[in-house]
Amino acid sequence: MPKLYQAMGLALLVAVTQTSCSSAKLATAQADAPKTENTEKAKPASKGGLKSYEEVITRNAVSDQGVFTVHKVGDKYYYEIPDSLLQRDFLWISRFANLPSGLGGGYVNAGSSVNEQMVEWQKLGDKLLLKTKSYNAYAADSLPISLSVKANNYQPTLYAFDIAALSKDSSGYVIDVTKFFQSDIKAFSGLDSDMRKEYKVSKLDDSRSFIHSVKSFPLNIEVKQDFTYDAAEPPSHSATGAISLMMNQSMVLLPEVPMQPRINDHRVGYFNINQIDYGSEALKADEKSYIRRWRLVPKDIEAYKRGELVEPVKPIVYYLDPATPEKLRPYIKAGVEQWNEAFESAGFKNAIIAKDPPSPEEDPDFSPEDARYSIIRYVASTTRNAMGPSVSDPRSGEIIESDIIWYHNHLRSYRNRYLLETGAANPSARTLDTPLDDLGEMMKEVITHEVGHALGLPHNMKASAAYPTDSLRSAEFTQKNGIAATIMDYARYNYVAQPGDKGVRFVRQLGPYDHYVINWGYRYLPDAKSPEQEVPTLSKWIEENTGNPVYQFGSGSGGYDPESQTEGIGDDVVKASTYGLANLKRVAPNLYAWTAAQTNDYDDLEELYGELLGVWSRYIGHVVTNVGGVREDRLKPSQQGYVYTPVSSKKQAESLNWLLQNAFSSPEWLNQTEISRNIHHANQVENVRNLQVRHLNNLLSADRMARLMENEVKGVNYNALDMVRDLQHGIWSEVYNGQKVDIYRRNLQKAYLDRVNYLLNEEPARGRSSRYGTPVDLSQSDIRSVLRGELVKLQSQLKRSQSRYANDLTRYHVDDAIVRIDNILNPKKS
């Protein structure tokens, strides 16, 4: 057994170190325990109907010792389970080991987790049961109510195994697991119900399915299953009518004594696990939430107490995938170890380490699939993404293993965004051949972001609003503070910086919130003997920073908080989007010269032009959120202020006016002849229509209008009527001014009528709840009254303007609009 594995195993098993057990990972043929052959003669069957050990585990058995001893006898596999490990907690992780291209739409890859569940082995008569186990409902065993908790939360039996024999010394049980691992059991399957429906899977083909390998380690067992399903519409190789995939089933022994959990606080951003505690003294079951984090314990607690930086007993270690290109390795390692800056704020030095994969000579057993290693996986896939998943102990939130996944094509997305968002002010971005150092810096920060997820940190979309927008044009400010208060925001590039802003930072970096949140979650509190004893200190740290935007958290969910949006930067979305749009208008005329003129090919030009439209759309979307917007501040009653504060009437009106000028006007700046006449034959107008209609419908959504109606009772003098009047007058301005209506505006005006018709006549009248959870009963809301009243006024204006138009297209458009409105106001009953 390799020395590293022995050392890690010993460290994990010694309770006083409080270090975590490693999670199981996909195991290939590595790190095997010594194989032994049983050469003893078979003995007669034992009493009670069981066979003797020697009859089952014959002299031809190949045995692999580990947490359970695994025996292979011919084509059969047996587990020998010690009695001491019955009713111990195991974590069972089902992952893809190999899979066909296109499965799951391209966002599923080798190593992706399909399911995680806690299990335990129980003996019942002459059977061993594999049962799932949950900590969602909990009460201490010492409390009488624990009996009721168990009785009312009975867990499913996943499989029942006949006991084939007792172990040699009668201290364990031998079971045949062959049929179990050759069966299509839903709890462990890689194909969920949606995939089975999409690919029209009928059944598992037993003749083409088998156990590939079974490996046992001191803390885990790894099983690979090679499955082939009959499928009428497989994601690839359609002529075969089949889906073949390899699943890896990992079973990990969890620590006998769980790590002391840390109670979650919604004012700070951590992934969490939840439990219902029926032992609470409150008049109801108490929902407890614990953060997900690695177990870090200082080697020298007394030095740590004195404020010295101390190394942890067991640092977090990531190994690079052997498939990682050599030129990218320094940037990936730097991205991992950048977190040491934040861990020093929590009192730890060298808390997280990145290592190159050992050579075969250094460690012949090394594999990215081995449970001993957390890996930065480099995936050969055209998917443009990166991910930072982790596996945690469901009892305590302890993260026990993590794989960071980097998809090969992801840097292309970053290059494109770099060119589009910073090219106006950043000469090095004006090329398809981005300098390696620039690409490396981008990759480093993406890796830091994904490692942040693996440390337990979700996105913090509110951090991008912590800095004054104009400060992002300052070299001194951005070089020191970055462009957002955390690396965990989607603030990728500084699109605010303008030409002439010298020395500004364009790429995101670690920020002050990252130091704050790591200290909050990972600071070791040696005097706190329970999670509850930590709470006063943790709350004090939060409340010391009340009102400081740098230390605020917002998930970005809900879609109503303009300070908590993906891809936004700066505290004023109108100003930031104005700067960003000004830069796009500088980039668009140069896009041909920076791409097709250099490559003598239009593919990159077409790709980047499509993404330019997407960037413009994001800038628009940021401003839309101001209208009917509500700022959310995560506060407790002990803190001053309100949790929800509507955006001021002035800011809402200003935002609507900005949208009329920059989103709903005719975007002539997009009509670049060298682009439009070389990448498509007739899509220019339709592309713009799609984009504008998306944001128009977003403005005229039931949930946004419901929030605007509520402004009447919240003291904000900008309501749904104000918004609809401003929007309608702006979109139909030509009718009020007697001007010709161009093709972009004709499309937009028709879309406006379609949306109003939808809200007046097609939206369900009752029981309607928007996607964001704002309850809206349109039949009893003022929304329909407002829309109907303003639509009548618009029809009257259109009728008055009919005779003004000599232009046939405009006149026909106005005539058509009058008829459409009449049909909306007087719908025909079917």
- pLDDT tens for residues 694-746? 999 999 999 999 999 998 888 889 999 999 999 999 999 999 998 999 999 99
Rg (C-alpha) for the chain, rounded Å, is 31
Does residue 162 have a pLDDT over 50? yes
Model pLDDT, residue 380: 62
Nearest to 68 by CA among 238, 303, 251, 202: 251
Model pLDDT, residue 26: 28
Measure the CA–CA gap between 221 and 219, rounded to whole angstroms: 7
Does residue 457 have a pLDDT over 50? yes
Question: Who wins on pLDDT, 561 or 3?
Answer: 561
pLDDT in tens, 567-594: 999 999 999 999 999 999 999 999 999 9
Model pLDDT, residue 148: 55
Average pLDDT over residues 320-334: 91
Does residue 10 have a pLDDT over 70? no
pLDDT interval class at 375 (50, 70, 90): confident
Write out the DSSP string of 126-191.
TEEEEEEE--SEE--TTSTHHHHHHHTSPPPEEEEEEEEEE-TTSSEEEEE-HHHHHS--GGG-SS
537 DSSP 8-state letter: H
Whole-number average pLDDT of the chain: 87
35-37 vs 62-64, strand pairing mode:
antiparallel
- Kindly report the backbone phi and psi dihedral angles of residue 251, in degrees, each rounded to the nearest multiple of 5, phi listed first: -120, 115
Does residue 20 have a pLDDT over 50? no
Model pLDDT, residue 153: 59
Exposure string for 695-710, b = 16+ CB within 10 A, e = fewer: bbebbbbbbbbbbbbb
Model pLDDT, residue 391: 83
Average pLDDT over residues 319-331: 90
Model pLDDT, residue 33: 37
Q: For residue 532, what are its two tokens?
A: 């509850």
Question: Taking a C-beta distance cutoff of 8 angstroms, is the pair 26, 248 a contact?
Answer: yes
Does residue 617 have a pLDDT over 90? yes
Model pLDDT, residue 233: 85
Does residue 564 have a pLDDT over 70? yes
Percentage of the chain modeled with pLDDT above 70: 86
Average pLDDT over residues 733-762: 94
| Helix 410-422 vs helix 436-454: crossing angle, to nearest 10 | 110
* Angle in degrees, CA 39, 44, 47, rounded to 5: 130
Model pLDDT, residue 111: 67
**Could you tell me which residues are beta bridge partners of residue 204?**
229
Question: Who wins on pLDDT, 383 or 52?
Answer: 52
Measure the CA–CA gap between 483 and 447, rounded to whole angstroms: 17
Does residue 123 have a pLDDT over 60? yes
Cβ-based burial of 193 (10 A; exposed 0-12, middle 13-18, buried ≥19): exposed
Nearest to 630 by CA among 548, 558, 522: 558
316-320 vs 374-379, strand pairing mode:
parallel
**The total number of residues written for the chain in this structure:** 830
Model pLDDT, residue 655: 98
Q: How many C-beta atoms lie closer than 10 Å to residue 435's C-beta?
A: 11
Does residue 4 have a pLDDT over 70? no
Measure the CA–CA gap between 493 and 741, rounded to whole angstroms: 37
Does residue 138 have a pLDDT over 60? no
Q: Which helix (H) or strand (E) holds 493?
A: none
Average pLDDT over residues 302-323: 94
| Helix 808-825 vs helix 743-757: crossing angle, to nearest 10 | 0
Measure the CA–CA gap between 217 and 772, rounded to whole angstroms: 47
Model pLDDT, residue 505: 97
Model pLDDT, residue 382: 62
Q: For residue 178, what are its two tokens?
A: 């062959």
Model pLDDT, residue 43: 41
Does residue 806 have a pLDDT over 80? no
Model pLDDT, residue 768: 45
Output the pTM of the full model.
0.85
Average pLDDT over residues 609-630: 96
pLDDT interval class at 239 (50, 70, 90): confident
Least confident of 137-141, 642-646, 709-713: 137-141
Measure the CA–CA gap between 117 and 111, rounded to whole angstroms: 17
Contacts with 565 (C-beta within 8 Å, 6 or more apart), sequence order? 461, 464, 556, 573, 621, 622, 625
Cβ-based burial of 477 (10 A; exposed 0-12, middle 13-18, buried ≥19): middle
Model pLDDT, residue 381: 63
Model pLDDT, residue 675: 87
Q: How many C-beta atoms lie closer than 10 Å to residue 33's C-beta?
A: 17
Model pLDDT, residue 45: 42
Least confident of 34-43, 313-322, 474-483, 543-552: 34-43
Model pLDDT, residue 17: 32
Does residue 365 have a pLDDT over 90? no
Measure the CA–CA gap between 24 and 552, rounded to whole angstroms: 35
Does residue 636 have a pLDDT over 60? yes
What strands lie across the sheet with 137-138, from one edge to the other?
A: 137-138, 272-277, 286-291
Average pLDDT over residues 205-221: 90
Question: Who wins on pLDDT, 46 or 488?
Answer: 488
Average pLDDT over residues 93-100: 85
pLDDT interval class at 280 (50, 70, 90): low
Measure the CA–CA gap between 417 and 81, rounded to whole angstroms: 54
In the numeric block, the tokens 């699943």 are attached to 247
pLDDT in tens, 29-51: 333 333 444 433 334 444 457 89
pLDDT interval class at 536 (50, 70, 90): very high
**Could you tell me which residues are beta bridge partners of residue 352?**
316
Contacts with 374 (C-beta within 8 Å, 6 or more apart), sequence order? 316, 317, 318, 319, 401, 402, 403, 404, 454
In the numeric block, the tokens 């840097």 are attached to 411
Model pLDDT, residue 377: 79
Does residue 249 have a pLDDT over 80? yes
